[in-house]
Amino acid sequence: MVEEKKVVRKKIEATGIMNKYMADYFYELDRASKSRDKKIAWCTSVGPAELLLSMGFLVYYPENHGALLGTSRMSTDVIPNANVIGYSPDICSYLTADIGAYLKGVTPLSKAFEGIESVPKPDVLVYNTNQCRDVKDWFGWYSRELNVPLLGVHTHRNPTDIGENVVSSISQQIKDLVEPLEKISGNKFDLEKLKKVVALSRECSELWKEVLETASTNPSPLTFFDGTIHMGPAVVLRGTQQAVDYYKILLKELKERVKNKEGAVEDEKFRIYWEGMPVWGRLRAHSELFANLKACVLASTYCNSWIFTDFDPEDPFTSMAKAYSELFIVKSDEAKEKYMKRMIDLFKIDGVIYHDAKTCPNNSNNRYGMPQRLEKETGIPSLVINGDLNDLRLISDEQTKTNVEAFIEQLDENKR
């Protein structure tokens, strides 16, 4: 029998510190939820979190909870609870997993953090449709269920360039949130506070960018799979000092690895770019699958999506509008392809993997011919794997494995 080779994957030492920051964050939300002494806002991952933080809200991100439902592999058990109340198995499995978990009265937070029994109760729900329409539908359900106000920003989708008209529209929509948020929070809007939060978000974003760009070295000191875990603070703590502190620690460790030429994957031979959502319930399996083939999946659009270089504390509303709208997921294929070419070049990529996530059409970028166009222009081969972010009923592990192994064989042949 052919023995499965096992390659050692390097552990990131800073993980323990990150876990503490994340635990502190969830316990603070839990305390506030129980004592009601601080207002809690639920916000989409690239919603106007900076404004919410500046107005004294604690901010909770249901998408992060969706990912936790995925990594804990609870999602597939709870999704049917949302399906039976009319939320199709074909729509966002973050939405169906999160609503399903609420209906079933379970949360992975209880398993991870002793004493936390449920997700924090919201005082307001704030969305930005920059990612998709599903986030609004998702928050809308909770608004009706919990009788909590629903506010939001409607983003112009699929532009190639974010023009002045888009920026002014989004900026005005964010400004329009101030008055209702003042009423809900009981706090007066303070421009200086907003500038401070935007400055912290910018600093976090720049550090996160530096962290991810360490992967451009050969061998790469981190993998995409590490990135999906270590992006936690960039997602839920952006706009706070803790996120800035954490990425300084992580960056130091990664720079040390670069200096010592320590690769995240032993004997890195192939450099892979991941386009699309992670398969949350298969992070470890995928990490091992690639590592055992000496392939380092080292960069991704997904992790890069929390880099917001447009934040400017001197012009907070305009820069927030720009930052939220310059997201990859918002843009046209033309803009996305330009971006992908830059990334392929920057990270010296040998092959691109597109994850066609069944329930996430907005973040499955293989469906309008992009892989074929980019292959033609760059000469870099690509592979599409079918799967999903959270619904494991939509995954064939064996087919993924065969496809990935065959792809790496192909890259190997091409290198000879």
Q: Which is nearer to another protein, 86 or 379 (CB)?
A: 379
Q: How many residues bind another protein (CB under 8 A)?
A: 20
Site string for another protein, 321-360 (x = CB under 8 A): ----------------------------------------
- CB 299 to another protein: min, Å: 22
In the complex with another protein, the residue whose CB is nearer, 191 or 406, is: 406
Rounded distance between C-alpha atoms, residue 6 and residue 384, angstroms? 25
Instruction: Check binding of 2 to another protein (CB under 8 A).
Output: yes
Quick check: 160 binds another protein (CB under 8 A)? no
Say if CB 82 and CB 97 are below 8 A apart. Answer: yes
- Establish if 88 lies at the interface with another protein (CB under 8 A): no
Task: Give whichever of 128 and 400 is closer to another protein, judged by the CB atom.
Answer: 400
Cis peptide before 219 (omega within 30 of 0): yes
Q: Determine which residue in the list 1, 37, 147, 369 makes contact with another protein, applying CB under 8 A.
A: 1
Applying CB under 8 A, does 106 fall inside the site for another protein? Answer: no
Give yes or no for residue 413 binding another protein (CB under 8 A).
yes
Query: Contact at 8 Å (CB) between 361 and 388?
Result: no
**Cα–Cα distance between 308 and 201 in angstroms, integer?**
8
Regarding 402 and contact with another protein (CB under 8 A), the answer is yes
Q: Which residues contact 365 (CB under 8 A, 6 or more apart)?
A: 275, 276, 301, 333, 336, 354
Amino acid at the residue 17: I
CB of 204 or CB of 383, closer to another protein: 383
| Candidate ranges 39-47, 206-214, 223-231, 396-404; the one touching another protein (CB under 8 A) | 396-404
Q: Does 5 bind another protein (CB under 8 A)?
A: no
Which of 254, 228, 238 lies closest to 44, judged by CA? 238
Whole-number minimum distance, CB 398 to another protein, in Å? 6
For another protein, the closer of residues 28 and 397 by Cβ is 397
List the one residue out of 322, 320, 340, 321 whose CA is nearest residue 332. Answer: 340
Applying CB under 8 A, the span of 134-142, 223-231, 341-349, 380-388 interacting with another protein comes to: 380-388
In 190-325, beta strands by DSSP E: 270-275, 295-300
- Please identify which residue in the block is written with the tokens 């004294």: 56
Smallest distance from another protein to CB 278, Å: 18
Position 204, amino acid: C
Position 89 contacts another protein (CB under 8 A): no
- 36-44, 108-116, 273-281, 395-403 -> range binding another protein (CB under 8 A): 395-403
* 219-241 CB burial, b ≥16 within 10 A, e <16: bbbbbbbbbbbbbbbbbbbbbbe
- Closest Cα to residue 365, out of 330, 403, 390, 397? 330
Bin 294: left if φ > 0, else alpha if -120 < ψ < 50, else beta: left
- Contact pattern for another protein over residues 266 through 285, marking x by CB under 8 A: --------------------
Residue from 83, 187, 378, 386 that binds another protein (CB under 8 A)? 386
Question: How far, in Å, CA of 291 to CA of 7, rounded?
Answer: 6
Q: Which residues of this chain interact with another protein, rule CB under 8 A?
A: 1-2, 4, 375, 381, 384, 386, 394-396, 398-399, 402-403, 405-406, 409-410, 413-414
